[in-house]
Chains A and B, each alone.
Chain A
Amino acid sequence: MEELTYKSENEKQFKSLHDRYGWLDQLRGFCVVWLLVAFLTWLFSSILYLGYPPPVGPTWMNHGYRYGDYFPAIITIIDMGSSIFMFVLGLSAPIAFNSKIQKKGFGYAWIAILIRFFMFIWFNILIKIFYKIDFSAVGMGFESTDLILVFIWLGITTVLVILHFLVLKGTKMQTYALLFWTILSVALWFPIITYEYNVWTIFFGETLAYLAWGTILAGIFLTILKRADQRIWSAIGLLLLHIILWECAKYNQMGPTRWFFELFPGTVLDVIGIPFNIISMGAIAISATCVSDWLLIQYEDPIQGIRKRIIPFTIIIFCFHFLVDFFQPAEHSGINASLASVSIFIAIYLFLAHYAFDKYFNVKIPFLTPLGRNALLMFILQGIYLFIYGIFWSNALEFRAQFPGLVGNFLGICLFIGPIALLIVIAWILDRLKLYLKF
């Protein structure tokens, strides 16, 4: 009997705790491809109003402000990238959260959320450190104290890995150990970058931090408000709060994010300003959890939820964006209510399209599924591409000076398609081997 229990526990380690949703993997894969394209168009941007040569890649697949930086900003689908990614994360949050509660309890579900939070923050730190590396300098630009911290981290990580295989595997302690390791990673790596980035930029002011906080907020509201019909009001409330704070801050000469400087001098808010992006990302994540729950209002007939809740919400959120944009035009640098609402609209639109492809037309774009199943790893790999490309070229001007005319166009295509093809191959191999990086 004991053996059987142990076996089933072990199996759980290797397979997902909930059913896989084909459309969700497709949607994730779609996001990964677009994120890579966005990274590349960003790198190969050009300053057109100064008469520089044209950028490499379609203009509408780049951030609006990289095309022309004016106020109000021109908004492209790429400007909504991180918000859509937040929505996709939020979409799977209730599925994973409720499944974990059912199978392993409330505590485990929350530990999983905290692990994800600290992992995001740690990745944020790693990216900053990655760009700090100076190959020409002694010690690659690091100080001896930095190296000591890295060695401590390596030592503890090795011990935990050994413990995982010898003692922890298949036990509850494994989860606690993972949480401990993520917190430790943040604590040990953070001092390496403190002199360049303060605690607030790492924890509150970067895209990955927004994703981390969005996940936490989605978790909190999933716990407090079980019913999606009630929970959606918290997202609306957050957006309205955002509008009011943004409007108040607009007329402050210090600028929106520094508004609290004057209001609460000497407090924590004095330093960080209003965490506008966290509020809006929270609203996006909560909306996504509601969409996910509405889909399952009637488990046997998901169309009811789509008809009665999701599509009406999509129309309402578009009208909301259209009206709000008159007062607070969507911006790239700060995710205001207008950008957040249009992102929710586009994200739901994409979700519906992928859902219909999968469930109605029974169509799957083959390579998107493996990409989606390892979305996080693919996201990290993209960063490596960008780093390598960045060594050779920093913008379109440099690239076009090296490769003018048709040669440049051909090479441009290869530079875009090559990484995508390579990502697909890696994702396909990992999918074949059933290796998935998740947290």
Chain B
Amino acid sequence: MIWVKSMTENETNIAEEIRMDMKRGIYRSTHPRYDWLDQFRGMVIVFLVIASLTWEFSSNNFAVAPPLGPTWLNHGFKYVDLQPAMITIIDMGSQIFMFMLGISVSLSFKSKLEKNGMGYAWMTVIHRVLSFFWIGQVISVDITFDYFYKNTALGVWLLITIGFATLRNLKKFKNSNLRPLFGIIWAVLSSLLWYIQARGPDILPLNVGYFRAVYFDEAIAHLAWGTLISAVFVCLVKKPDFRVFAAIIIYIGHAIMWEFETEINSAIIVFWPGWQIPFDVLAMGAIAIVASCVWDWMQKDPNDQKIGMKKRVLPLMIITGVLHFIVDFFQTAEHHGINVSLGLLSIAFSSLLVVIFFSLENYFNFKIPPLTHIGRNALFLFLFQGIFTLTYPEIWGGALEFRTQMATLFGLSDLTLPLVDLMAIIVFLAPMLVMYLVAWLFDRYHIYIKV
């Protein structure tokens, strides 16, 4: 009810239209699509693909075989691993992705809360969180294509997945509470079955190391926790001007604990062996909370999102940028642990991207067509690019192997001749083209895979 009260007349009308459509059997997204957000998502996916390729074709021997692709489009530590780290845009990749998810949490959570109620909204969040954990489990194992028929647990998983996917997409269950519930059951069963697969006969006792790795250390687990934390705070603190203080407090706590990391971790180990401060979870939580605030600030005047941009988002961008600059003197940004410096820089950069994409659509009236198709199926394409990151290492171990193979293939004496570079371009562009084609086909047939 509180949400209904806080809604504008325009939003209430849209919600009413959607409800009427549902009665007539017409189903559509519970909230209007924002093209600039799809464009933003699409750009993040493109950069994630590039990042996974530059990672794959990094080099340990610059003199013999330089890495493939622009160096600034790779992780800083894959260029050279020194302390303090060199931070590139790619090092902020998962944080920018988190920011994007944080915006979605606020956007879709509030919308679902209004149209389908609290239970439904929370079930969709939990479904998303559990699905992320499961994806983390999948990523953590070394998958081969014969997995599913050789492994009983995963064979069962495959059948369950087909069953639940069918159930969830039946017209009868669309927009009903059962749909996210099916999702949750599926995600729990999936996690369980993949755990059984990973642990084999040693299912019990539960392995702390495995759980910590999958549920706290994996980049995808950080996204899950960030989503959950932001949803909690969106629910608890309605006003973004107050909610942002939760993020500030988290960051202050993070900075203090980072300073005394060894002492605190030694104390934690005494009570919970194998555990330590979940720095990345905290940092991602703060980023997601800020992102949810950004979206809510933009709704300050729903008829003119520019107002919120001007009064809150732009100042946020400048303040976080300046704060990063200051904090970095004490706690230099790192890649391996998302500290406050990297978190703040990522927020500043993500806010700038939001401003740019928002302006591109609303002011410059410009769209980069492929980005919309990719952005609409962002999550699916994020997983789909896994095919390339699984396949490529089977063929090449890095830049040296690639260059050697190509030079041998064409009978070249030098590993850096233009023909080798030309092949490298093809190896980079092919996955992007395939992904774009898939995204375009899915968009054409209105197939959107979401959790």
Query: Closest residue to A306 on the B side, CB-wise?
Result: B364
Contact A329 B70 (CB under 8 A): yes
Beta-carbon contacts under 8 Å, A207-229 to B: none
Binds B, one of A116-124, A258-266, A315-323: A315-323
Residues of chain B with a CB closer than 8 A to A412's CB = 329
- Quick one: which of A68, A338, A363 contacts B310, CB cutoff 8 A? A363
Query: Closest residue to B326 on the A side, CB-wise?
Result: A413
Beta-carbon contacts under 8 Å, A304-355 to B: 306-307, 311, 315, 321-323, 325-327, 329-330, 338, 342, 349, 352-353
- Quick one: which of B88, B355, B362, B421 contacts A327, CB cutoff 8 A? B421
Query: Closest residue to B356 on the A side, CB-wise?
Result: A353
Query: Closest residue to B330 on the A side, CB-wise?
Result: A409
Contact B70 A75 (CB under 8 A): yes
Binds B, one of A2-10, A53-61, A87-95: A53-61
Residues of chain A with a CB closer than 8 A to B360's CB = 311
How far apart sit A365 and B319, CA to CA, in the bound complex (Å)? 12
How far apart sit A327 and B421, CA to CA, in the bound complex (Å)? 6
Query: Closest residue to A413 on the B side, CB-wise?
Result: B329
Task: For residue A100, give the distance in angstroms from its CB to the closest CB of chain B.
Answer: 30
Task: For residue B402, give the distance in angstroms from its CB to the closest CB of chain A.
Answer: 12
Task: For residue A92, give the distance in angstroms from its CB to the closest CB of chain B.
Answer: 21
Q: Is the interface of A mostly helix, strand, loop or mixed?
A: helix
Binds A, one of B79-87, B105-113, B133-141, B207-215: B79-87
Task: For residue A295, give the distance in angstroms from its CB to the closest CB of chain B.
Answer: 12
How far apart sit A359 and B418, CA to CA, in the bound complex (Å)? 45
Task: For residue A399, give the distance in angstroms from its CB to the closest CB of chain B.
Answer: 12
Q: Does B93 contact A (CB under 8 A)?
A: no
Residues of chain A with a CB closer than 8 A to B356's CB = 349, 352-353, 356
State the interface size on chain B (CB cutoff 8 A).
51
Contact B306 A360 (CB under 8 A): yes
Contact A57 B329 (CB under 8 A): yes
How far apart sit A174 and B196, CA to CA, in the bound complex (Å)? 87
- Quick one: which of B310, B368, B425 contacts A323, CB cutoff 8 A? B425
Contact B82 A322 (CB under 8 A): no
Contact A75 B332 (CB under 8 A): no
Contact B88 A60 (CB under 8 A): yes
Residues of chain A with a CB closer than 8 A to B70's CB = 75, 321-322, 325, 329-330, 338, 342
Q: Does A67 contact B (CB under 8 A)?
A: yes
Residues of chain A with a CB closer than 8 A to B87's CB = 58-60
- Quick one: which of A68, A315, A349, A410 contacts B79, CB cutoff 8 A? A68
Contact B66 A72 (CB under 8 A): yes
- Chain B 308-333 per-residue mask, 1 if CB under 8 angstroms from chain A, else 0: 01100010001000001110111011
Residues of chain A with a CB closer than 8 A to B67's CB = 72
Sort chain A's interface into a size bin.
Answer: 35 or more
Q: Given contacts A74-B86, A75-B71, A330-B70, is CB(A361)–CB(B306) below 8 Å?
A: yes
Q: Given contacts A59-B85, A323-B425, A326-B421, is CB(A71)–CB(B329) below 8 Å?
A: no
Q: Does A109 contact B (CB under 8 A)?
A: no
How far apart sit A99 and B87, CA to CA, in the bound complex (Å)? 43
Q: Does B173 contact A (CB under 8 A)?
A: no
Among A342, A353, A359, max chain B CB count under 10 A is at A353
Q: Does A362 contact B (CB under 8 A)?
A: yes
Q: Does B123 contact A (CB under 8 A)?
A: no
Q: Does B424 contact A (CB under 8 A)?
A: yes
Residues of chain A with a CB closer than 8 A to B72's CB = 64, 74-76, 330, 342
Contact A325 B69 (CB under 8 A): yes
Contact A307 B365 (CB under 8 A): yes
- Chain A 75-99 per-residue mask, 1 if CB under 8 angstroms from chain B, else 0: 1100000000000000000000000
- Quick one: which of A68, A303, A352 contacts B86, CB cutoff 8 A? A68
Q: Does B100 contact A (CB under 8 A)?
A: no
Q: Does B245 contact A (CB under 8 A)?
A: no
Contact A329 B66 (CB under 8 A): yes
How far apart sit A403 and B310, CA to CA, in the bound complex (Å)? 41
- Quick one: which of B85, B309, B332 contacts A361, CB cutoff 8 A? B309
Q: Does B257 contact A (CB under 8 A)?
A: no
Q: Does A70 contact B (CB under 8 A)?
A: yes
Query: Closest residue to A323 on the B side, CB-wise?
Result: B425
CB-CB nearest 8 A-B residue pairs: A356-B359, A48-B82, A326-B421, A360-B363, A325-B70, A68-B80, A58-B328, A75-B72
A residues adjacent to B (C-beta < 8 A): 48-49, 54-61, 64, 67-68, 70-76, 247, 303, 306-307, 311, 315, 321-323, 325-327, 329-330, 338, 342, 349, 352-353, 356-357, 359-363, 365, 406, 409-410, 412-413, 416
Listed A/B pairs (6) with beta-carbon separation below 8 Å: A48-B83, A57-B328, A58-B325, A59-B76, A59-B84, A342-B70
